[in-house]
Structure 1
Amino acid sequence: MPPWFHEPGHGSPGGNLYNISADLSRCDELITPACIKALYHVPLGNKAHPGNTLGIFEDGDFYAQEDLNLFFSNFTPYIPNGTHPTLDSIDGGYAPVNLSEAGGESSLDLQLTYPLIWPQGVTLFQTDDINYSSSNLTNSTGFYNSWLDAIDGSYCTYSAFGETGNLPIDPVYPDPLPGGYKGTLNCGTYEPTNVMSISYSQQEISVPANYQRRQCNEFMKLALQGHTIVFSSGDTGVAGRAADPRPNGCLGPNHTIFNPRWPDSCPYVTVVGATKVYPGKTVFEPESVANDLAGAPYKTAYSSGGGFSNIFPIPEFQKTAVNTYFELHDPGYAYYSGDEPLGANGGLYNRSGRGYPDVSANGDNMAVYVGGKATREGGTSASTPIFASIITRINEERLAIGKTPVGWINPVLYSHPEVLNDITNGTNPGCGTQGFGAVPGWDPSSGLGTPHYPRMLELFLSLP
């Protein structure tokens, strides 16, 4: 799979840092489960409703059980070795794999999720056969439709915006390539979980606008049916991944225009940016937006993604927050609006587009095991399953008192930003700029802020 299809962890050696697994004074060096629980005031779980597993989407990246066992033994001995997700194999997706084939994304997702939700379980939506989920083996540029087909059979033939079903840019099953999945396309094979965490995203420029609009309609349907869909905001600030013909990941003839992400721009998904405990800080102090230079500590530079859509307008639930941001904290860049051409007026971003992220969580210096080795990983791939896990815990408490899952949470969060920890420090640079800065209130680098589990729980338990 091309590298821009997901937000992989940025690995760096872990060394002897695992000796500090329960030492909260050193969370600026390594984020362990104990650090996450302290940051967001999350107690150990004690409930396990059978219908409340957390869904994790994977495509082209695989976990090894040995890595999970090493992680449980070193960090969460209350979770038994052998604990593993329930596999929903979509169109030939498979897992687990041998240690030599283990990937950083799957390891990160599962090793962050289990400590927060245990004894609840995980459903793994492992999607696409090896041809479509591996890099350069096909010309497919479409994404998510195989998964959406599998969890909602009606989507396979759904018509919207001049499109019906999948397009030629999507994976085709039976797969005619050698070694491919020879079964028919999975349609309605599996049930969607109450919360679904997806750490893979692209740029809006990657696929046609109507492809995204039809897909966004499906996210709306799922959200209104009671499902919470959580996406990562990306790891390249206001830019995209560097690739021809955009060597710095930015748009326009001079590669200076900000490059928004899909499906982050869909208002029916909850987008999670990344924060960091900066060196010398503790989990008892405010976090900052994750922003690391190349080599410190990862091989490539990394900054939490954020910006404004070129396709979807500002949704009603977000208007007050976005307007307040522009009124009190204008970033000072030239902009274009609405139907104006990309880059009109010398603009770097679309002032009237849907803003993201919606929220944030820690996404730097995460303790993981990959391929049998201790390492550190980072990215909004980390912050996304953390936030999704907290919503799963809230659903568990609601189910215990006879209420339904929370479903589409964006309107509630924007109406009650006080249940989140506001982030006011840091930027998400890209395209030759410092990007957008974190400020009081919502901003396009940290969203509304990071979770505060007790306040969020109290709010959501009070709702019908």
Structure 2
Amino acid sequence: MLSLRGLAVLLTSASLCLGAPSKDCAFKPKETIAPPRGWVKHSSPNADHNVVLRIGLPQPNFHVLEQHLYEVSDPDHERYGDHLSKEEVEELVAPHQESIDAVDAWLSSHGIAESDVTRSPAKDWVTLKIPVSLVEKMLDTKYHVWKHTSSDDYLVRTTSYSLPSDLHDHIDVIQPTTTFGRFKGAKSTFIFDDEPESSVSDATKSTLAPIVNAASGVTVDASCNTTITVTCLQQLYNAVGFKPKAKGNSIGITGYLEQFANIQDLQSFYADQRPDALNSSFKFISVKGGLNNQTLAEAGAEANLDVQFAFGISHPIPGTFYSTAGRPPFIPSVGTPTDTNEPYTDWLDFVLSHPNLPLAISSSYGDEEETVPESFARRACAGFAQLGVRGVSVMFSSGDGGVGDGDPNPATQECFTNDGRNTTKFIPGFPASCPFVTAVGGTQNINPEVAVSRFFSGGGFSNYFKQPTYQKVAVEKYLEALPKGLYKGLFNPEGRAFPDVAAQGDRFRIFLSGRPVSIGGTSASSPAFTGFVALLNDVRLQNGQSSLGFLNPLIYKNGGAFNDITIGHNAGCGTPGFNATAGWDPVTGFGTPNFGKLKGVVSSH
């Protein structure tokens, strides 16, 4: 129901708009983009095609939330670890009542009732499902069916939309309008084992002497140079013998795009690599209709990889797998399916509405930053900040296309801007470029551990987000050592730099559809790193301390607690990309975790 103020706004607007056009009622462009690279107009959607429209209202106090985030995440601040509650966060991101009333009045003027809308707990998002013909009227625009030429994907989108002038200050963003992101998993590559009945001991059997890793000084089985297992990661990252036992700990994995984590495969993996975890499983949560198909033949390689290694490393810490319904394929000739947004925002809506969340969460999905309009990327990034200030550590894979567009083959990458000018430029990934998440790059080999080379660890500099204070010293040191003029104009040296850290990302042995598989990608690096974050949370909880929450300020003040990776590069866009080097670099960040050192770091704050 509208408030009295809202009713007054509605009556005032109606009286203005029924007469001669006024400056308050005149439509003013809100967002305009160039036709996106790789997409062509295909047709017009049916007038009754449904659109799930999301309206983001301003968060006028987000700067206050951001200040809280940096204070509670800075290990040198007196408030370190003093995370906020769900209710405190919602109060900080709530829009002004004036904005709520103005938007309500606008919706009501188009015949949309309160019962037709869904609101986020903080009322900063309004969601409604309406025909595209009504959306076009409300936004003074024209939608088209767009076809992606190389994949045959279809989307119903527009390249511009407008709002009445008096609404511009009350609405940050409306989607789906100009978002053409194809939201995909980091490109995992895998090879089926020729010996499906072999055990891990057979698969990794080696007559070679154990290897002493030069960076960490730990001893690692020689077989880990060809096959990565839970034991390999425990050895390499100095966590052998640690047993989690704190109460209240938790770890989570996000799953999208009809990826199902198969429990039978998980049991096979546990029997193979973690027999003490046999007969344990994870909590399944469906988001927006996400399914849980346990048919063995339909197991998801990405989902299986994520849960097997994240939960295998962190056992017996309770695990949760979120299955979020992916963007449904739009087929122009079939009925009127519903068009929706990138599913990570659906997941964010869901988890932010719940009081108790996993303390460490990994996601191996993303887009090219330029395919996500900046206004929408900023709102999604703000959602990750809300998780961080509540004590949740959020990890994202940095991607597998080096400095390029996500295509792991540098020869076929298209490194052009999406602004209509087709300027050659490196293509950062999102959400890895969000300054409020921890981006994880990929490594391989044991001694020395190097930047992964079968694909290339995603990394670089955001074109949307400025460089946060926590990383300026480390990034400036890297840039000062970069040959003068190298890649000038190809990247934004003032942007948020990523990745922050790295972990092994190739030759992971998992089980898929009942068979052992060798799999690789930074999609392996993120869940592996997250498993160790869960162990570090356990250290703190055992000491009566809070969870780690947003990790980056801690990481950038303790770079020496990571195994520095100094060999390798991340080719793309017809270039060798950036080089891994001493200290932080935009290939492997500060390097891979040394749990023995990090355990001391997190205990001391």
What TM-score bracket applies, with the shorter chain setting the length? 0.7 to 0.9
Partner of 2:290: 93
Partner of 2:261: 63
Report 1:185-204 matches (<5 A). 188=354, 191-204=356-369
2:346 is aligned, of 129, 139, 146, to: 146
CA spacing shift, 1:99–1:331, aligned 2, 3 Å: farther
Runs (5+) with no aligned partner, structure 1: 154-187, 278-282, 293-301, 336-346
Question: After superposition, what is the alpha-carbon deviation per residue over 1:344-377, rounded to whole angstroms, capped at 9, x for unaligned?
Answer: xxx1111111100000000000001111111100
Q: Percent identity?
A: 34
CA RMSD of aligned residues (A): 2.3
**Are 1:287 and 2:449 an aligned pair?**
yes
Give the secondary-structure state (helix, strand or coil) at the position aligned to 1:321. Answer: helix
Contact 2:402 2:456 in 1 (8 A): yes
CA spacing shift, 1:115–1:22, aligned 2, 3 Å: farther
Tell which deviates more after alignment, 435-444 or 106-115: 106-115
Partner of 1:320: 473
2:546 is aligned, of 404, 419, 424, to: 404
**Matched letter for residue 286 of structure 1:** P
- Tell me the distance in 1 between the aligned counterparts of 2:316 and 2:484: 44
Contact 1:274 1:304 in 2 (8 A): yes
CA spacing shift, 1:44–1:62, aligned 2, 3 Å: farther
- Tell me the distance in 2 between the aligned counterparts of 1:96 and 1:331: 53
Residue 21 of structure 1 and its aligned partner are, at CA, apart by 4.0
Residue 452 of structure 1 and its aligned partner are, at CA, apart by 0.2
Give the secondary-structure state (helix, strand or coil) at the position aligned to 2:285. Answer: strand
Question: After superposition, what is the alpha-carbon deviation per residue over 1:34-87, rounded to whole angstroms, capped at 9, x for unaligned?
Answer: 21111101124433444212010001211222211111112221111x322101
Partner of 2:121: none
1:435 is aligned, of 547, 561, 577, to: 577
Contact 2:457 2:570 in 1 (8 A): yes
- Tell me the distance in 1 between the aligned counterparts of 2:205 and 2:275: 12
Partner of 2:203: 20
- Tell me the distance in 2 between the aligned counterparts of 1:141 and 1:453: 38
Partner of 2:69: none
**Matched letter for residue 289 of structure 2:** G
Residue 112 of structure 1 and its aligned partner are, at CA, apart by 0.8
Give the secondary-structure state (helix, strand or coil) at the position aligned to 1:414. Answer: helix
- Tell me the distance in 1 between the aligned counterparts of 2:466 and 2:378: 12
CA spacing shift, 1:135–1:358, aligned 2, 3 Å: farther
How many aligned positions are there?
397
Question: After superposition, what is the alpha-carbon deviation per residue over 1:186-235, rounded to whole angstroms, capped at 9, x for unaligned?
Answer: xx4x7321111111111111221011111111211221221111110001
Report 1:117-196 matches (<5 A). 117-128=314-325, 132=327, 140=340, 142-153=342-353, 188=354, 191-196=356-361
Contact 1:223 1:268 in 2 (8 A): yes
**Matched letter for residue 93 of structure 1:** G
Partner of 1:110: 307
- Tell me the distance in 2 between the aligned counterparts of 1:384 and 1:445: 14
Give the secondary-structure state (helix, strand or coil) at the position aligned to 1:201. Answer: strand
Contact 1:199 1:231 in 2 (8 A): yes
Give the secondary-structure state (helix, strand or coil) at the position aligned to 1:116. Answer: helix
Contact 1:230 1:388 in 2 (8 A): yes
Partner of 1:163: none
Contact 1:249 1:259 in 2 (8 A): no
Partner of 2:462: 309
- Tell me the distance in 2 between the aligned counterparts of 1:331 and 1:226: 40
Structure number with higher relative contact order (C-alpha < 8 Å, ≥ 6 residues apart): 1
1:6 is aligned, of 167, 172, 185, to: 185
Runs (5+) with no aligned partner, structure 2: 1-150, 154-181, 207-220, 332-336
Contact 1:331 1:436 in 2 (8 A): no
Partner of 2:430: 262
Partner of 2:89: none
Residue 406 of structure 1 and its aligned partner are, at CA, apart by 0.9
TM-score, length-normalised on structure 2? 0.62
CA spacing shift, 1:135–1:112, aligned 2, 3 Å: farther
Partner of 2:567: 425
**Whose Rg is larger?**
2
Give the secondary-structure state (helix, strand or coil) at the position aligned to 1:197. Answer: strand
Residue 146 of structure 1 and its aligned partner are, at CA, apart by 0.6
Give the secondary-structure state (helix, strand or coil) at the position aligned to 1:215. Answer: helix
Report 1:73-88 matches (<5 A). 73-80=271-278, 82-88=279-285
Question: After superposition, what is the alpha-carbon deviation per residue over 1:122-157, rounded to whole angstroms, capped at 9, x for unaligned?
Answer: 11111116xx3668786545241111110113xxxx
Contact 2:183 2:342 in 1 (8 A): no
